[in-house]
Structure 1
Amino acid sequence: MEEEEDDDDEVYSYGGGKGYKANKQKTKKKKEKPTQPQKLVPSDDNFPTDLEEGTTQTELDWLTKRNGALRNVTDQGNRRTCWTIASTRGLSASLVIADRFDPPDANLSALHMLVGLIDKVDTTGGLQNLEHLRSFMINWGAVLEEDCDCPQLALESKKDSSKPKPVLCTNKKKAKQTRTFKVKDLIILKEVDEKELMRLVNLGPVAVTIDVHTAFSTFKGDGIYTGPTNKCRKLDRHMLLVYGYGTDKLTGIHYWRVQNSAGLTWGMNGYGKIVRQISRGTEANKSLFTSVIYPQV
């Protein structure tokens, strides 16, 4: 399906962050309690139609399926750095699931991404073009948090031209070689096919983007986010992780499980549910996700 283009989409960047004040370029360790599996069978009227062919699995939760696939919920605050968080966590999950390293070591640095692309972001950290992220992850890769000594005040340096430009940690002279994790490619799907997304999520958590409206930024509880009303104004673009899927027992609504980066007050302790396309009514209602991003490792 083709993605609708807003007339002013070019001025939006990927960032999110608390407040979501129409962010244009010019301007605990708690975990979600998993629900009990919905025992749907193919003969049920409500059996989901977006599953992979030949499968009857209607529930998936990487939070419980693989230890360490997801890190604890974080809070990006007012910085529009969701893309650094979702991209590094998506890569971390892929490396853990592929047994490239153990979960305690899979803490990749989001700050490394920000400093590496400091010339490509606005003063709040928002990244407009995801191709810059793709190029960086291919050519430079990610580093572990323990190996990253990038300056925490990188954005402050960008705002003040009198301060020196932050130096990427892999460019600094060190006594030991910094271990880097490059990707073969970073796939960016701008036309969202939720059947393809289902296939990808079966392999591991996947980063997606979504348009932010007030209903999303203030979403709380264990309900299902079903999208904005016609009166809602688009505030920003945002990137987060899809880590599973399921079906609500009472309503029969099919949903995606997501991990946000807005702290523990969003959704249910930082986790949430977003309606899948097949439960949005008619075929004219496309996916709420605007793109899908995943690494080839």
Structure 2
Amino acid sequence: MVLNFHSRLVVLAALFLLGAWESLSTARTLEETSLFLSHKRWMSRHGRSYKNESERSKRFTIFKENVKFIEKFNKVRGGSYKLGTNKFTDLTKEEFRATLLNEEKSTPYPKTSKPTSFVNESLAEVPESLDWRDQGAVTNIRDQGKCGAWAFAVVAAVEGITKIKTGQLISLSEQQLLDCDFNNGGCGDGNTTEAFQFIKDIGGIMAESDYPYKGVEASCNTQTLSNPAATITGYQEVEPTESALLAAVTNQPVSVGIDLGEPGLFQYYAGGIFSGECGSGYRHDMTIIGYGRSDEYGMDYWLVKNSWGNSWGEGGYVKMARGINAQGVCNLNTRASYPTA
């Protein structure tokens, strides 16, 4: 059969479209295969397994979308920090919020005492940079799992002041706070100042070795409470200004709360100085253990200890922008307190 010129053009066009479709299909297949292998390696690295194929398929879809989000951010937006995969990459934003963050309460916790604000002799004496790890006042990064970050922020601050006052660095018990501090909400929610007051009222806090972390709420083991490893005399709240917070951190690690409504950026923080959008409606508690300045980015930062394990961020820590506005990034300047000893 002899094809006329028009028919030949139709055939050639059809062949071209078929080739283009096959090429696109191959590219998609290669991309999907690469993501599948990445997910498999990610599962191995983080010890993740799923109960059935349906759950694995669901988690792979979430993982795939989150990886695309991370790669797009690093390529298009970039800036002073980067994102990366971590153990949260197969969670949706809603699951992450429900598991790791505390929803803001419309009514604040009642105060059991009225602390005075921190007073420092002179901000002129503040060093250019500080890292309380260099003074041996910071224990290893913990992993809160699905439980309350407030307890970890409190314990890190008490560990710091205990080392500064006594010369001893002791890992203290978050589990005791979760089990025994009935003014707070255990794994669900908590208030750092209420927890400081609780430690003072019961005469101290146990060592981690005597009251180990379980990651779930349990009955208070009152038999272990007669031999505390550390004591405090109370707590103080920091004036909601950056200068007051800076003065406080020069003396000891300080517990802070940040606002997070859209956690995607913070959830996948992998390094640099975090200055991203935070949103509101949810809260997360951490501990400032120092500050400094990055010549690379030309920015001042807070050095903050988190409780999401050492595979998150920079070995479990995050540098958060300092000096960008009155409230601080994620309102960090507005909710700070520390124990007194």
In the alignment, what sits opposite 1:207? 255
Please give the per-residue CA displacement for 1:92-148, whole angstroms capped at 9, x wherever unaligned.
Answer: 1111111x2522xx11111011111246316x4311x44532331220121112332
Identity of aligned residues (%): 26
Matched position secondary structure for 2:194: helix
What is the CA–CA distance in structure 2 between the aligned matches of 1:130 and 1:149, rounded to whole Å? 20
What is the CA–CA distance in structure 2 between the aligned matches of 1:114 and 1:269, rounded to whole Å? 25
> What amino acid is the match of 2:201?
N
Q: Unaligned regions of 5+ residues in structure 2, if any? A: 1-94, 106-121
Q: Alpha-carbon deviation of 1:260?
A: 0.6
Matched position secondary structure for 1:142: coil
Q: 1:188 to 1:93 in 2, by over 3 A?
A: same
What is the CA–CA distance in structure 1 between the aligned matches of 2:297 and 2:244, rounded to whole Å? 25
Q: 1:182 to 1:247 in 2, by over 3 A?
A: same
In the alignment, what sits opposite 2:168? 102
In the alignment, what sits opposite 1:246? 292
What is the CA–CA distance in structure 2 between the aligned matches of 1:236 and 1:110, rounded to whole Å? 21
Q: Does 1:139 align with 2:201?
A: yes
CA contact (8 A) 1:259 1:271 kept: yes
Q: Does 1:263 align with 2:295?
A: no
What is the CA–CA distance in structure 2 between the aligned matches of 1:286 and 1:120, rounded to whole Å? 26
Within 5 Å, give how 1:1-297 maps onto structure 2.
19-21=96-98, 23-24=102-103, 52-55=122-125, 57-64=127-134, 66-67=135-136, 69-79=137-147, 81-98=148-165, 100-103=166-169, 106-118=170-182, 120-121=184-185, 124-127=187-190, 129-140=191-202, 141-148=204-211, 152=214, 155=217, 166-167=219-220, 169=221, 171-172=222-223, 177-179=226-228, 181-189=230-238, 191-212=239-260, 213-214=262-263, 215-221=265-271, 223-228=272-277, 233-234=279-280, 236-276=282-322, 278=323, 280=324, 285-287=326-328, 288-289=331-332, 290-297=334-341
CA contact (8 A) 2:173 2:212 kept: no
Q: 1:153 to 1:90 in 2, by over 3 A?
A: closer
Bigger mean CA deviation after superposition, 233-242 or 204-213: 233-242
What is the CA–CA distance in structure 2 between the aligned matches of 1:206 and 1:78, rounded to whole Å? 23
Q: Alpha-carbon deviation of 1:56?
A: 6.6
Greater Rg, structure 1 or structure 2?
2
Q: Alpha-carbon deviation of 1:218?
A: 2.0
Please give the per-residue CA displacement for 1:228-261, whole angstroms capped at 9, x wherever unaligned.
Answer: 1xxx643521111111111110332111111111
CA contact (8 A) 2:160 2:252 kept: yes
Matched position secondary structure for 1:234: coil
CA contact (8 A) 1:142 1:180 kept: yes
Query: Whose relative contact order is higher, 1 or 2, with alpha carbons under 8 Å and at least 6 apart?
Result: 1
Please give the per-residue CA displacement for 1:176-213, whole angstroms capped at 9, x wherever unaligned.
Answer: x5135332112234x52111111111112111111123
- Please give the root-mean-square deviation of Cα atoms over the aligned residues, in Å: 2.8
What is the CA–CA distance in structure 2 between the aligned matches of 1:234 and 1:77, rounded to whole Å? 22
What is the CA–CA distance in structure 2 between the aligned matches of 1:25 and 1:198, rounded to whole Å? 25
Aligned length, in residue pairs: 224
What is the CA–CA distance in structure 2 between the aligned matches of 1:102 and 1:118, rounded to whole Å? 29
Q: 1:154 to 1:294 in 2, by over 3 A?
A: same
Matched position secondary structure for 1:125: coil
Matched position secondary structure for 1:244: strand
CA contact (8 A) 1:86 1:240 kept: yes
